[in-house]
Amino acid sequence: MTYRQFTRQAKLTQEDFCLEMLAAHRDEVKAKKERTAVKNLELIFQATLKVSNQKGFQAMTMRDLSKASGLSIGALYDYFSGKEALLEMIQGAGRRITRRVMRQAVSGGDTPSEKLASVIRAHIYLSEAMQPWFFFSYMEARHLGKVEKQRAVEGELATERHIAEVIKQGKREGVFADVDHMLTASVIKGMLQDWYLKRGKYAKRRVSVERYAEFVVNMALGYCLNGLEPIGAGEPENE
Amino acid sequence: MTYRQFTRQAKLTQEDFCLEMLAAHRDEVKAKKERTAVKNLELIFQATLKVSNQKGFQAMTMRDLSKASGLSIGALYDYFSGKEALLEMIQGAGRRITRRVMRQAVSGGDTPSEKLASVIRAHIYLSEAMQPWFFFSYMEARHLGKVEKQRAVEGELATERHIAEVIKQGKREGVFADVDHMLTASVIKGMLQDWYLKRGKYAKRRVSVERYAEFVVNMALGYCLNGLEPIGAGEPENE
DNA sequence: GTCTATATACGGATAGAC
DNA sequence: GTCTATCCGTATATAGAC
């Protein structure tokens, strides 16, 4: 699947994101009309990610947010009760969207190899479409309250489990070698994260999202299919 | 090389770290006696990493730091001129130590495979010995001033270049397959970072530093030595 | 629904006692 | 060399006008 095909089928625009936020906090948002509410939530959402991803959420003041969004400080408080609530609102919406997309990805593909490729591609494409949120989510996770932090960690682990499950299935079916599925899933997830954490680097080097996805798929499948213990095999040791 | 052997030869204690900080800022530190200066720098260093890695450097107040270190606010200002200077002091010292260790690692091993393994192990062991610093450095890099941020990015790229250079050499010598050395180095570095960014996860799963290092070495060498393009090779496509 | 003005509190940094 | 007390700027959040 190409990135274009992916974005066409998944609903991942900024408006979709803010509809998700609104649905979960309909009673706390003062604005009655959905049109108005979503419009302003988009301004707030965009401004929050922009300022936060530059200087950090903690360092972002309400004045910053007011300037960047074009809304007054008073108006901002009609959409969320404080900075912490704003953080949790954004984190929660992204988490739910991520869960929905990843669940669908696991059911894409018949063989273990196809399934693994499907999960890897889905995550990389998803993190491309929502890159500012993924970066934000990763960097600000530790500023969440206890409960929300727990949920964030759980979300991370769910992705990893999806990968590990596919690898285990491949081993059971005898298609994959006897690799350590836990460690393999861990490092694959590390590769997925690199894409949204180091976006600037890859952009500068003109690595497209498809090329990166294919590279990771190849490396992961290469390892799972062959499961090499190559030390000493490729080159003789010096004596 | 085991982790024990590594820590024995490299000087990476907290005291060594603070000696490095002191040497670079001898004139700005008010305390005259080296004994006193290093002792208090250790208190400050430890407290800064502890509080920062929990709530973030920005959110850490001078009052927090005072409480955690046991020194009064006034005393703190005798060791650094402000929060920003403290940040740069810690970042600079760690960067110099990292550079020193990594340079040495590149010259360890004769064949490309050994060199690659040496660089990977050195980085993982180093980040294990200085985990709080590596985590801190990663998370707070974007709060640095322009010049210091540039240096931090350059440090990151240097590690990546070391890896890429070894891979290129292996390809020239015909030992490694024709892999994309830039992307390969990138994802390997992602795996190295996962070790110090997700330390808690690996600790809970009882993955030792040696096991993780060997796993990454195997995966990297497996890919470089064989350079598979496995899609469609291991399993037939559905038609 | 949105704005301005302001109450209240907290943080960084310094002065000067001991 | 280290501490306490304090200044001053700035942050969050609210009240009430429009």
CATH of the domain at B13: 1.10.357.10
Q: List pLDDT tens digits, range A47-79.
A: 999 999 999 999 999 999 999 999 999 999 999
User: Tens digit of pLDDT for each residue in B215-235?
Assistant: 999 999 999 998 654 333 334
Per-residue pLDDT, B233: 39
**Residue A238, in any domain of the structure:** no
Q: Answer yes or no: is B237 within a domain.
A: no
Distance from residue A148 (CA) to nucleotide C3 (C1'), in Å? Answer: 33
List, for chain B, all residue ranges whose pLDDT scores fall below the cut of 50. 229-239
pLDDT at B6: 96
Q: Could you tell me if A116 and A221 are in contact, meaning their C-beta atoms sit under 8 angstroms apart?
A: yes
How far away is chain B from the Cα of A178, in angstroms, using its nearest Cα?
13
Q: Is the CB of A230 less than 8 angstroms away from the CB of B238?
A: no
A28 shares contact with chain B (CB less than 8 Å)? no
User: How many domains is chain A built from?
Assistant: 1
- How high is the pLDDT of residue B226? 83
Closest residue of A to B141, CA-based?
Answer: A55
pLDDT bracket for residue A80 (50, 70, 90): very high
Residue B228: what pLDDT? 58
Average pLDDT for A2-26:
95
Burial of residue B70 (number of CB atoms within 10 Å: 0-12, 13-18, 19+): exposed
Q: How large is the average pLDDT for residues A178-190?
A: 97
Given this model, what pLDDT does residue A238 score? 41
In a domain, B99, yes or no: yes
Range of the domain at B110: 3-226
* Position B232 in a domain: no
Binary contact (B187, A191; C-beta < 8 A): yes
How far apart, in Å, are the Cα atoms of A81 and each of A24, A84, B122, B140, B216? Answer: 14, 8, 48, 28, 46
Q: What is the pLDDT of residue B227?
A: 66
Amino acid in position B45: F
Domain assignment present for residue B55? The answer is yes
Query: B61 — contact with chain A (CB < 8 Å)?
Result: no
A70 touches chain B (CB under 8 A): no
B65: in domain:
yes
Quick one: pLDDT at residue B94? 97
DSSP B235: S
pLDDT for the residue numbered A108: 86
A26 CB closer than 7 A to any strand C atom? no
Nucleotides of C under 7 A from a protein CB: 1-5, 10-16
Which of A59, A221, A228 comes nearest B231 by C-beta?
A221
Would you call A231 and B218 a contact, using CB atoms and an 8 Å cutoff? yes
Does residue A145 lie within any of the structural domains?
Answer: yes
Q: What is the pLDDT of residue A239?
A: 34
Please give the Cα distance from B113 to A113 (Å, whole number). 28
What's the whole-number average pLDDT of chain A?
93
pLDDT at B122 (0 to 100): 97
User: In degrees, to the nearest 5, what angle opens at C-alpha B60 toward C-alphas B55 and B63?
Assistant: 135
Residue B35 within any structural domain of the chain:
yes
Q: What is the pTM of this model?
A: 0.93
Residue A179 tokens read as 């690799």
Q: Which member of A58, A186, A187 has the closest CB to residue B58?
A: A58
The predicted pLDDT at position A213 comes to: 98
Average pLDDT rounded to a whole number, residues A88-106: 95
At residue A231, does pLDDT exceed 60?
Answer: no
Band of pLDDT at residue A227, cut at 50, 70 and 90: low
pLDDT reported for residue B208: 98
Residues of B in contact with A218 (CB under 8 A): 228-231
